[in-house]
């Protein structure tokens, strides 16, 4: 029998004693055991804080992102090992694809997010704020990695994705992780961590794994740690109320199982493609992972005039689901994760039957399974219930059977549908299937305060839709109320969760030095060498060129109008200016920017390879014929680019602060432009 081990303190350690037996969900065979007895959890957390955290904090965002990319590539090459082991959890290959490749996909996605961050160990958050009239006192928010560790307590249903989708975020932020998967399926998490360890890609202490009881782990958390929990609301609330968590004010993100719903719009009838989309979506969400998904559809709301048609179509679709050994190529639904889980589902369904009736499936067992023993394996039939009076059926809005179980319910109008959806008291996701934009808008705005995500499905997006139950790395995964109130993933938003936001106040030059980004009003370093003649490495933030000046003429304005075809009246018509902010025809804003470029560009061939774009631009003051403009061009920020291949030219992106001013010294335009600059080496 295989003994699972814990990956802590930089090595693999088995617990003492017999520990907990783990069973094959398909055959019922006990094949492994695990234990955490004898582990010092205080030492585990201290190792993460003192070894893993400093190593990650020293890395820049690009370095952390490339680390995630290398890890994703390595795990992709090993994925068939994980698929073979995943069958033991009752998951089909399609189910396992969500878990395994979905998890690896999160690593790839967050690796690509490195481009959204600076080439630094920290990041700026938002725009600078001027706090004084004289421009000598300002503030800028800064994000720095916390000095603790992320503690991830995960559910049994996604042993790979549950770990990878979370560590992708904290590792990019520069914070290590201690992962505690649900013991029931921890054997698959352990297999993935063994491959991560073999790869040697992560710094020591960046990832630790606990297979088994968490013991007194939470007794040792402190204010620099972050806890995430995925599982039942009941367990989550107990952990959230832990005395040390409360005393240390440890950030606690909970993603709890919720009573997610789907609504069929009143405009949809069986002749429309949206009707088929609706039926397929419900069937998929009931049978994928045997319904063991925190995002699975538990409540199905349809117009009362369509109740019989939907019931008939759903029962017909569910009858086509072949149940059995998940390794069999024809099987479309495997087993639950274990016999204990099956008993839990049956117990919850009995509560639901107090206010509903079973219209498809058999609560006692599965009549026929493919290539398996229905008694030894944790098999269960899809169970479709009907509750004809949903406003008085409290259980269907409060009790969740975590398996292939959904309840069908009627509504009279969209107002009722909204009221019924809200009775779930907070959900991770809701779907609306409709072809009509107006009711879709009303529904979304009404349901939004109660959901983390809303999918609006119609024929136009159905083919490309990732589906009701698919959280995406760049979107927030979480929800209010019963769903836990937390937010996971969410792209850049998720990374910020593991960083401390601090407001830095001071003079512009001091904040430029601290942040590594030029702040308006800061010291500008004049050099006899034009900045466009400097290679990427030679440029320093603050390097500035003050150009010669140019007087704008009426001819300039007329010629730019003719060249650009922009004949807006404010530029060309003297007779139409009454009642406007202009006293006479004004120069085009884009002419001012173009003229500024003519002033600050060094024309000779040099390290600047091309104009990369414009991030922001503001036209502050009108420029009339006769005004004289000049430019201060300052190096604002530098971001080194990764080579696409061996033949690629080493280069970086330089952001420039462009201040165009007139003869009075007042700014008329402010912009941030980007150039691609060649590296010297």
**Annotated catalytic sites, by residue?**
255, 294
Beta bridge partners of 230: 255
- Residue 570, number of CB atoms within 10 A of its CB: 16
Dist. CA 656–CA 539, nearest whole Å: 11
Dist. CA 382–CA 403, nearest whole Å: 8
Structure tokens, 137? 């006192």
Q: Burial of 551 by CB count in 10 Å (0-12 exposed, 13-18 middle, 19+ buried)?
A: exposed
Of the candidates 591, 584, 574, 602, the one whose C-alpha atom is nearest the C-alpha of residue 660 is 591
Nearby residues of 4 by Cβ (< 8 Å), 6 or more positions away? 14, 22, 32, 33, 34, 186, 187, 190, 211, 212
Structure tokens, 394? 């409290």
Structure tokens, 306? 């369509």
Structure tokens, 180? 């505690």
208 CA to centre of own chain: 22
- SS3 readout for 250-271: CCEEEEECCCEEEEECCCCCCC
Structure tokens, 417? 């549908």
Of the candidates 478, 469, 415, 480, the one whose C-alpha atom is nearest the C-alpha of residue 443 is 415
Longest dimension (CA), the chain: 93
| Torsion sign, CA atoms 145, 147, 153, 159 | positive
Nearby residues of 529 by Cβ (< 8 Å), 6 or more positions away? none
Helix (H, G, I), strand (E, B) or coil at 583: coil
Long-range contacts of 600-606 (CB under 8 A, 24+ apart): 600/545, 600/547, 600/631, 600/633, 600/658, 601/532, 602/530, 602/532, 602/533, 604/533, 606/532, 606/533
Helix (H, G, I), strand (E, B) or coil at 143: strand
Dist. CA 292–CA 285, nearest whole Å: 9
């Amino acid at each position: 029998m295989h003994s699972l081990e814990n990956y802590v303190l930089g090595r693999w350690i088995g617990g003492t004693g017999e520990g907990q037996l783990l069973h094959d969900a398909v055959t019922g065979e006990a094949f492994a055991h695990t234990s955490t007895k004898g582990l010092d959890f205080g030492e585990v957390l201290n190792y993460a804080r003192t070894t893993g955290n400093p190593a990650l904090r020293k890395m820049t965002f690009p370095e952390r992102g490339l680390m995630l990319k290398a890890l994703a590539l390595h795990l992709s090459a090993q994925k068939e090992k994980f698929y073979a082991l995943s069958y033991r959890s009752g998951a089909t290959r399609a189910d396992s694809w969500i878990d395994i490749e979905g998890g690896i996909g999160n690593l790839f996605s967050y690796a690509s997010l490195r481009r959204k961050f600076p080439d630094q160990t920290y990041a700026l958050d938002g725009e600078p704020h001027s706090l004084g009239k004289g421009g000598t006192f300002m503030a800028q928010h800064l994000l720095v990695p916390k000095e603790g560790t992320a503690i991830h307590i995960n559910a049994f249903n996604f042993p790979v994705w549950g770990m990878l989708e979370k560590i992708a975020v904290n590792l990019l932020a520069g914070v290590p992780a201690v992962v505690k998967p649900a013991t029931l399926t921890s054997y698959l998490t352990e297999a993935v961590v063994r491959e991560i360890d073999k790869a040697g890609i992560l710094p020591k202490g960046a990832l630790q794994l606990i297979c088994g009881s968490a013991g007194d782990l939470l007794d040792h958390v402190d204010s620099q740690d972050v806890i995430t929990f995925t599982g039942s609301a009941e367990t989550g609330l107990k952990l959230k109320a832990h005395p040390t968590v409360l005393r240390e004010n440890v950030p606690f993100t909970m993603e709890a199982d919720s009573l997610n719903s789907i609504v069929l719009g009143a405009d949809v009838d069986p002749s429309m493609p949206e009707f088929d989309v609706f039926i397929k979506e419900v069937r998929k969400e009931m049978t994928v992972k045997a319904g063991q998904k925190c995002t699975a559809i538990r409540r199905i709301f349809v117009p009362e005039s369509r109740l019989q048609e939907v019931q008939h179509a759903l029962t017909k679709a569910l009858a086509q689901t072949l149940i059995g050994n998940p390794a069999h190529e024809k099987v479309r639904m495997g087993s639950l994760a274990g016999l204990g889980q099956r008993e839990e589902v049956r117990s919850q369904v009995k509560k639901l039957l107090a206010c509903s009736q079973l219209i498809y499936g058999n609560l006692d067992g599965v009549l026929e399974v493919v290539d398996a023993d229905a008694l030894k394996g944790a098999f269960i039939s899809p169970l479709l219930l009907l509750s004809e009076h949903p406003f008085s059926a409290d259980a269907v809005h409060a009790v969740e059977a975590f398996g292939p179980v959904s309840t069908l319910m009627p509504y009279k109008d969209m107002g009722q549908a909204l009221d019924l959806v809200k009775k779930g008291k907070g959900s991770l996701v809701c779907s609306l299937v409709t072809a009509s934009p107006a009711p879709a808008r009303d529904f979304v705005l009404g349901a939004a305060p109660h959901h983390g995500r809303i999918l609006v499905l119609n024929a136009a997006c159905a083919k490309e839709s990732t589906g009701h139950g698919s959280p995406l790395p760049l979107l927030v995964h979480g929800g209010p109320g019963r769903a836990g109130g937390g937010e996971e993933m969410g792209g850049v938003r998720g990374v910020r969760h593991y960083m401390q936001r601090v407001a830095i106040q001071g003079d512009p030059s001091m904040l430029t030095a601290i942040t590594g980004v030029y702040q308006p009003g800061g010291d500008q370093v004049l050099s006899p060498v034009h900045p466009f003649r400097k290679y990427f490495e030679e440029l320093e933030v603050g390097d500035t060129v003050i150009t010669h000046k140019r007087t704008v003429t009426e001819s300039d304005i007329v010629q730019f109008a003719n060249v650009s075809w922009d004949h807006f009246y404010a530029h060309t018509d003297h007779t139409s200016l009454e009642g406007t902010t202009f006293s006479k025809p004004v120069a085009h804003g884009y002419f001012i920017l173009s003229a500024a470029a003519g002033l600050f560009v060094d024309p000779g061939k040099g390290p600047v390879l091309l104009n990369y774009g414009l991030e922001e631009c503001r036209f502050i003051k009108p420029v009339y014929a006769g005004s004289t403009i000049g430019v201060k061009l300052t190096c604002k920020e530098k971001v080194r680019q990764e080579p696409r291949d061996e033949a690629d030219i080493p280069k970086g992106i330089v952001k420039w602060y462009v201040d165009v001013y007139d003869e009075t010294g007042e700014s008329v335009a402010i912009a941030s432009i980007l150039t691609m600059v060649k590296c010297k080496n």
